[in-house]
């Protein structure tokens, strides 16, 4: 049976070119700064993001955690969106491990924070208050349907942050998707952030890894916090080699994922019992509502026909990626259509 895995772009496998590069990678002990392949990847990443330096971490969650710990002290707070990945899906790491409080404000439909609301949320210096030590944005914004933040969107919040001398962190797990969708260099999207993390192991198809980019001093601090959380690794060039291939050759192809997402969204919009606004989907995350039937039962039915995805909730997310072809989208739409029609008839 055909299998189409739409659960996430994290399910992507390394490309044959990555596997070759990994097998041939020159390695060294990165805790001594001796891994030439990782050093090359970090230099490439810093250059691409337009920052002075970069440090490799195991995951996007670790990238955000290490960034927060590097910006904030125990007893400080960070201002982030109420639908941000940091707040909702990273197990409260900064609070659990760093004693950092989360001050959440409203994310709008596009995942934006209102600069005035950010400003109002910043705590004045007062013995009663936590110190606001970081402001966080997310681009693309996962819960907002992969929505992109433009340079101007980020700048509006950065201006507030700068005025109050508070660092701005960008969770850019999928910033390359934003860059391709907006046809804007990733360095411009990251320009107003003091630190930015991006993931190699989502749309870029690497097996492991994320990178934090920022100023020299910040990245030095991040290296220390990475050590604290047990994230320093040794012959990491084996996985860094895949990252080099990704930055060299996997970015432009994200446009294909976006085209497939659009095709998927347009097709889903034609199916009864599904509610979706296809025009609002500029990248590779396709969110929609099941408006008719039991979502858990429907998910089971599509799973039986080889479509991985769906959930017991009404709001579903399908994700396009390197492992998904235009033909897979046709197949997924056929399955969704027949399952929803069977459901309506039963």
Q: With respect to ligand TLP, which residue has the nearer C-beta, 176 or 271? A: 176
Work out whether 89 is an interface residue with ligand TLP (CB under 6 A): yes
**Kind of pairing, strands 53-57 and 315-319?**
unpaired
Coil vs helix vs strand at 197: strand
Q: Are 225 and 69 in contact (CB under 8 A)?
A: yes
Please enumerate in sequence order all residues whose Cβ is within 8 A of that of 213, keeping only pairs 6 or more positions apart, or say none.
45, 46, 49, 51, 53, 54, 190, 195, 196, 197, 198, 219
Site string for ligand TLP, 137-176 (x = CB under 6 A): -x---x----------------------------x-x---
Q: At 46, which helix (H) or strand (E)?
A: helix 36-49
Work out whether 59 is an interface residue with ligand TLP (CB under 6 A): yes
Using CB under 6 A, pick the residue from 65, 178, 199, 271 that binds ligand TLP: 199
With CB atoms as reference, the residue minimizing the distance to ligand TLP is: 60
Q: With respect to ligand TLP, which residue has the nearer C-beta, 61 or 107? A: 61
Residues binding ligand TLP: number (CB under 6 A): 13
Q: With respect to ligand TLP, which residue has the nearer C-beta, 182 or 340? A: 182
Please enumerate in sequence order all residues whose Cβ is within 8 A of that of 122, keeping only pairs 6 or more positions apart, or say none.
79, 132, 160, 164, 166
Using CB under 6 A, pick the residue from 48, 71, 83, 85 that binds ligand TLP: 85
Distance separating alpha carbons of residues 150 and 228, to the nearest angstrom: 34
Q: With respect to ligand TLP, which residue has the nearer C-beta, 198 or 218? A: 198
Distance separating alpha carbons of residues 156 and 154, to the nearest angstrom: 5
Q: With respect to ligand TLP, which residue has the nearer C-beta, 15 or 61? A: 61
Distance separating alpha carbons of residues 81 and 315, to the nearest angstrom: 20
- Cα 61 to its chain centre, rounded Å, is 9
Work out whether 8 is an interface residue with ligand TLP (CB under 6 A): yes
Q: With respect to ligand TLP, which residue has the nearer C-beta, 178 or 271? A: 178
The residues binding ligand TLP (CB under 6 A) are: 8, 10, 59-61, 85, 89, 138, 142, 171, 173, 199, 210
């Amino acid at each position: 049976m055909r299998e189409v895995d739409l659960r996430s772009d994290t399910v992507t496998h390394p490309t044959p070119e990555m596997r070759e590069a990994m097998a041939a990678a020159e390695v060294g002990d990165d805790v001594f700064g001796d891994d030439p392949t990782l050093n090359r990847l970090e230099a490439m990443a810093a250059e691409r993001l337009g920052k002075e330096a970069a440090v490799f971490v195991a995951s996007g969650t670790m990238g955000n955690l290490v960034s927060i710990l590097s910006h904030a002290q125990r007893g400080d707070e960070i201002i982030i969106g109420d639908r941000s990945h940091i707040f909702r899906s990273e197990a409260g790491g900064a609070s659990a491990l760093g004693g950092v409080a989360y001050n959440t404000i409203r994310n709008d439909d596009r995942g934006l924070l209102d600069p005035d609301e950010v400003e109002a949320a910043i705590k004045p210096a007062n013995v009663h208050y936590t110190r606001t030590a970081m402001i966080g944005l997310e681009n693309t914004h996962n819960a907002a349907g992969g929505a992109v933040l433009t340079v101007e969107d980020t700048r509006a919040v950065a201006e507030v942050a700068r005025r109050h001398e508070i660092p701005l962190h960008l969770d850019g797990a999928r910033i390359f998707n934003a860059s391709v969708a907006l046809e804007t260099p990733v360095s411009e999207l990251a320009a107003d952030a003091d630190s930015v993390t991006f993931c190699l192991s989502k749309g870029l198809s690497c097996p492991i890894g994320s990178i934090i980019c920022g100023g020299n001093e910040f990245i030095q601090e991040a290296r220390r916090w990475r050590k604290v959380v047990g994230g320093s690794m040794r012959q990491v060039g084996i996985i860094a080699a895949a990252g080099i291939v990704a930055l060299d050759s996997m970015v432009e192809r994200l446009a294909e994922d976006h085209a497939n997402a659009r095709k998927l969204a347009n097709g889903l919009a034609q199916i009864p019992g599904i509610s979706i606004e296809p025009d609002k989907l500029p990248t590779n995350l396709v969110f929609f509502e099941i408006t008719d039937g039991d979502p858990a039962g429907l998910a089971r039915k599509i799973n039986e026909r080889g479509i991985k995805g769906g959930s017991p909730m009404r709001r579903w997310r399908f994700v396009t990626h390197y492992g998904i072809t235009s033909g897979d989208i046709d197949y997924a739409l056929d399955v969704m259509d027949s399952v929803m029609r069977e459901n309506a008839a039963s």
